[in-house]
Amino acid sequence: MKININEVVTRDGLQIEKKIPSTKFKVNLIDQLMDAGVKRFELTSFVHPKYVPQMADAEDLFSEIDRRSDVVLSALVLNDRGVKRAKRTPVDELNITFSLSETHNRKNANSTVSESIQLVRNVLQETIPVNVCIGTAFGCPFEGLYETEQLIPVIESVVEYNPNSISLGDTTGMANPRQVEETCYLIRSKWPEIKLGLHLHNSRGMGLANVLAGIRAGVHDFDTALGGIGGCPFAPGATGNICTEDTVHMLEQMGYETGIVVDKLIQAAKGLEQELGKSLPGQIMKSGKSTATHPA
């Protein structure tokens, strides 16, 4: 079975880092990841640099990337201004996100959920493919855990506009494997035509277990970040995404196909660690692959 990885290190990964890598470093990092076999990237977000200065080079990043015909580059947008900026670049797809949580959505997008849904509907009428991510889909640090039924009317409000995909975001790592499996199974049963993905965080150590829960429910598309870095700057306690090299290593060891070379991911993760000047959460970059042996 093929599992698809969407790399988000230069967007969700870097958006809370105090040290902001140069555009040149980001371009070289993406080149390394493409060489490793990564085919999908959420490259950046078109947001105001006052609020997320790590994304201030969004246009420059798109102009300097060495495009490859078999690689898809997407970008996050949160409002009409972001959409207009993105459309002036060679972006392949737009990613638009809003939160199931009213509280988090106001903090993250400065909008009510209903206002964000209306924006999503407007953007979905663009000719460019649009992916929709529903953040805090399993729970919110301000409002607590959610029942799956709360998602249903929200998905209904956008699915009729034919998004390219719908992703469920566990924005602060509150979901557990049972919750993920039951939620994804219900949504796939109700809308089998939807391309359903998961954007998971490892805040409470359940990230990779939630990947397997999603796979059991029929999900094949996952967002990951090299080194396991990242998190939402507008949510307390937010920590990193599930780690790309750890996720790919686990899946390959279990017999799933990703098309990505783990050794090259490890090399890229070590370079990122050196650039950021701190230890990263990823485990495989520290301990090596399970197949590695050492002299007695």
How does strand 72-77 pair with strand 40-45?
A: parallel
Are 48 and 13 in contact by the 8 Å Cβ rule? The answer is no
Max CA distance (Å), the chain: 63
SS3 category, 187: helix
| Residues paired with 168 in a beta bridge | 134, 198
Q: Which of 133, 140, 232, 243 is catalytic?
A: 232
- C-alpha–C-alpha distance, residues 22 and 45, integer Å: 16
**Of 213, 229, 199, 173, nearest in space to 74 by CA:** 199
User: Tokens 């105090």 — which residue?
Assistant: 18
- C-alpha–C-alpha distance, residues 163 and 295, integer Å: 53
Tokens of residue 250, six digits: 């686990």
Indicate if 232 belongs to the active site: yes
Active site residues: 232
